[in-house]
Amino acid sequence: MEPSLFLSHGQVRAIQREFGTPVYVYDEATLERQARQALGFPCPFGLTARFAMKALPNLTILRLLHDLGLHIDASSGYEAERAQRAGIPPEHIELTAQELPHNLASLVEAGVQFNACSLAQLTAFGERFPGASLGVRVNPGLGSGHNNRTNVGGPSSSFGIWHEYIPRVLETARALNLHITRVHTHIGSGGDPDVWTTCARLSLDAAARFPEVATLNLGGGFKVARMPGEKAANLQEIGEAVSGILRQHGESHGRQLKLEIEPGTFIVANAGALIATVMDVVDTGSGGYRFIKADAGMTDVLRPAIYGAQHPVTLVAASGEAQPAAEYLIAGHCCESGDVLTPEPGNPEGLLPRTLPGARIGDALVIGGAGAYCSAMCCKNYNSFPESAEVLLRKNGEVHLIRKRQTLDQMLANEMLL
């Protein structure tokens, strides 16, 4: 078995034969291990750990994580409804959305919890539900994403209500008799306990201005190590640091705030891999590059094209006999120059070849770290490629199909020819 992968070469070949490619594979054992780490996040006054379902909204995965004890963080009204279809109780779903959901009323009436992300959302909620309780998402003025595309806090982010506008939030709440019982913040990805501590202090400063707040939600963004040499967030260290700040706040303000966190990537990123097939091997001459052309690409893993994100890649020879190593760029199957799975780190415009065993048509490529923001966030149906199949590797070694490969008929179902 390759380092950082949960699949043996034999399992890769077997899944490639049985289900075809491209196919996502999710590992039940890794999902369970990561979920238990999140649920064990240290907290002095109570914890709710919510899975950020935008990372991987497959119904089977949602239900599995729910059964382990996780609640749900939904980012749209559609996600909240999707979670309910997976059997998640509405009261276990918290909705924090950029766009005010068209079905907000029915969701709230069913029991879904709502966080207002703007003054307009707060007003709309209050006009529909005067006297009700809700949360507000506050932008505390700090962000920690590694670039503006992953930074969801600070002045460059539109997420949440800018902290200087809290007096307007309080005024609106008084006018509509709303009870703000939860403050939600999220600053981006990271693993530094000092950054989380700073975020907690800023968030608690905001929470202190709301007399009825009983819960603080710090969001997610716990870094995972997809590539060798990367350092993952240590939830115990972060939790212990944040717990100290919560205790200090409790002593100073006489309120013991319950904590919520919303891990997504941390739970599912390394629990997923994408198996693709080598469809061609070409080169651009002595001064150019060798290319592996795969039957997957930005229709399955978009992160490299938009972030310059790095995913580990393993080549599994169809014959079982490895060939002499060479350097390759891996090109996706889309007719798009940006469909490259091996960009420079953090630079989607750059190229960085990978050293792999000699590739031949029919070999398998395993793209690791593909459990988060891959099947959920891709260029769906670009070049009319279908959505890929998804399978779950159970702890007993059995492999079960949890999403069928899309057909062309399904792709065209809503189109009408005039």
Q: Is residue 37 part of a domain?
A: yes
- Give, for all 418 residues of the chain, the pLDDT tens digit: 453 579 999 999 999 999 999 999 999 999 999 999 999 999 999 999 999 999 999 999 999 999 999 999 999 999 999 999 999 999 999 999 999 999 999 999 999 999 999 999 999 999 999 999 999 999 987 654 444 444 445 667 788 999 999 999 999 999 999 999 999 998 765 778 888 888 888 899 999 999 999 999 999 989 999 999 899 999 999 999 999 999 999 999 999 999 999 999 999 999 999 999 999 999 999 999 999 999 999 999 999 999 999 999 999 999 878 789 999 999 999 999 999 999 999 999 999 999 999 999 999 999 999 999 999 999 999 999 999 999 999 999 999 999 999 999 999 999 999 9
Q: Is residue 8 part of a domain?
A: no
Q: Is residue 4 part of a domain?
A: no
Please state the pTM of the whole predicted model.
Answer: 0.94
Q: Is residue 2 part of a domain?
A: no
pLDDT value for 189:
54
Q: Is residue 413 part of a domain?
A: no
pLDDT value for 155:
67
Is the distance from CB of 63 to CB of 86 less than 8 angstroms? Answer: yes
Q: Within this chain, do residues 183 and 331 fall inside the same structural domain, yes or no?
A: no
Taking the C-alpha atoms of residue 212 and residue 369, their distance in angstroms, rounded to an integer, is 41
Q: Within this chain, do residues 57 and 191 fall inside the same structural domain, yes or no?
A: yes
Q: Within this chain, do residues 172 and 244 fall inside the same structural domain, yes or no?
A: yes
pLDDT value for 157:
75
Helices (H), 111-163: 119-128
Q: Within this chain, do residues 255 and 356 fall inside the same structural domain, yes or no?
A: no
Q: Is residue 160 part of a domain?
A: yes
* Domain boundary, last residue among 218, 233, 268: 268
* Domain boundary, last residue among 268, 302, 329: 268
Q: Exposed e or buried b for every residue in 353-389, given b needs 16+ CB within 10 A?
A: ebebbbbeeebbbbbbbbbbbbbbebbeebeebbbbb
Q: Within this chain, do residues 308 and 263 fall inside the same structural domain, yes or no?
A: no
Q: What is the CATH number of the domain that holds 322?
A: 2.40.37.10
Q: Within this chain, do residues 311 and 241 fall inside the same structural domain, yes or no?
A: no
Catalytic residues, by residue number, are 335
Judging by DSSP bridges, how do beta strands 23-27 and 272-283 pair with one another?
A: antiparallel
Q: Is residue 150 part of a domain?
A: yes
Q: Within this chain, do residues 259 and 290 fall inside the same structural domain, yes or no?
A: no
Q: Within this chain, do residues 63 and 199 fall inside the same structural domain, yes or no?
A: yes
The helix-helix angle for 119-128 and 166-175 (nearest 10°) equals 10
Taking the C-alpha atoms of residue 187 and residue 182, their distance in angstroms, rounded to an integer, is 17
Q: Within this chain, do residues 117 and 178 fall inside the same structural domain, yes or no?
A: yes
Taking the C-alpha atoms of residue 146 and residue 165, their distance in angstroms, rounded to an integer, is 26
* Domain boundary, last residue among 268, 283, 313: 268
pLDDT value for 153:
52
Residue by residue, DSSP assigns 41-69 as ---TT-EEEEEEGGG---HHHHHHHHHHT
Is the distance from CB of 146 to CB of 124 less than 8 angstroms? Answer: no
Q: What is the CATH number of the domain that holds 90?
A: 3.20.20.10
Q: Exposed e or buried b for every residue in 204-236, given b needs 16+ CB within 10 A?
A: bebbeebeebbbbbbbbbbbbebeeeeeebebe
Q: 218 in the Ramachandran plot: left (φ > 0), alpha (ψ -120 to 50) or beta?
A: alpha
Taking the C-alpha atoms of residue 326 and residue 278, their distance in angstroms, rounded to an integer, is 15
pLDDT value for 193:
84
Q: Within this chain, do residues 187 and 225 fall inside the same structural domain, yes or no?
A: yes
Give me the domain span that covers residue 300. 269-407
Q: Within this chain, do residues 197 and 295 fall inside the same structural domain, yes or no?
A: no
Q: Within this chain, do residues 112 and 242 fall inside the same structural domain, yes or no?
A: yes
The structural domain count of the chain equals 2
Q: Is residue 189 part of a domain?
A: yes
